[in-house]
Amino acid sequence: MSLSKERFYQLTEGLLFMSETDAPLTYIEIGLESSQQWPPSTVGQFLQLIGEDPTTPVEELAPAKFFENLLPGNEEHEDQVIALRKAMEELKDLEGFRVGEIQIKIYVLGADDGRLVGLHTLSVET
């Protein structure tokens, strides 16, 4: 089953990523041309795909680690977190990245029927 925008928002309703701010999970879809460059061979290529400055600090984030970090604060939605993780793990070449410092943009993306889709959220860490 593909990960449509509608399905994504059903799975993430009420979930927040907890840090110094509580951020919603946002659906992201990157154009067909960009999805042909997935997975990126370098973090620089990833930054180019999302339109970030190539000098922006970026680190890889294991998708499993992201979902472990999503559970605290969402314990009452544990089944939802598990369902979201399962749906995301169906994507091909699932990868995660943390972009920036202090206000860190988090991406977990994978290929889905020729599209590059996934989630985006924010973690504030001072």
- Pick from 39, 22, 35, 45: nearest CA to 113: 35
Residue range 1-31, pLDDT digits in tens: 578 999 999 999 999 999 999 999 999 998 7
Interatomic CA distance for residues 98 and 118, integer angstroms:
14
pLDDT at 73: 95
pLDDT at 87: 96
pLDDT at 108 over 80: yes
Residue range 34-91, pLDDT digits in tens: 667 899 999 999 999 899 999 999 999 999 999 999 999 999 999 999 999 999 999 9
* CATH H-level superfamily of 5-124: Nuclease A inhibitor-like (3.40.1460.10)
Residues paired with residue 29 on neighbouring β-strands, in sequence order = 117
Name the pTM for this structure.
Answer: 0.94
